[in-house]
Amino acid sequence: MVHPYFAGKEPVGNEPVPVPDWGERFWKLVCPSSTAGLDDPYLNPAFDPDLARLGCSKVLVMLAEKDFLRERGKHYFDLLKGSEWKGEVEMVETEGEQHVFHLWNAGCENAAVLVNKICSFINN
C-alpha cells in the first residue's frame, strides 16, 4: 500500500482534532450508500470485522513523512500487526516527502528508492 487513504471519525496518532469535515463530505461523494460515514470498514480498517482474514501473506505499507494521511497509514500497520492475521507486515517511511510525491516527481531519488523497495517486496 503506497500512501494509503484511510479515515475515521476519531483522530489517531497526531491527527488534528476534530477530524476535518471535508473528509466526511468526500466519503459521501465516493460511497453515497454508506451509512457508517468515516467509520465504514472500507475507509476505516479498525471497523473491519474481517481484517484478520486478509487474503495475502504479506503487506507493505509505504508512508511519507509529511503526508496528511501518514497517521492513518501507521494506524493501519499497527492494526494489522496487532490483529490475528498470520501474515508479515512491513512499514517503510520516506523522510521529507508528501503524499504521492513519487507521482509528481517521478525522477527524484526518493521516488527511485520507493519503486525499488516495492519491486524488492514483490520479488521476495
Digit-coded pLDDT (tens) for 83-111: 999 999 999 999 999 999 999 999 999 99
Q: What is the mean pLDDT of the chain?
A: 93
Q: What's this model's pTM, rounded to 2 decimal places?
A: 0.91
Cell numbers at 112, concatenated: 527511485
First to last CA, the chain: 16
- In the three-class reduction of DSSP (H, G, I as helix; E, B as strand; rest coil), residue 78 is classed as helix
Which letter does DSSP use for residue 90 in this model? E
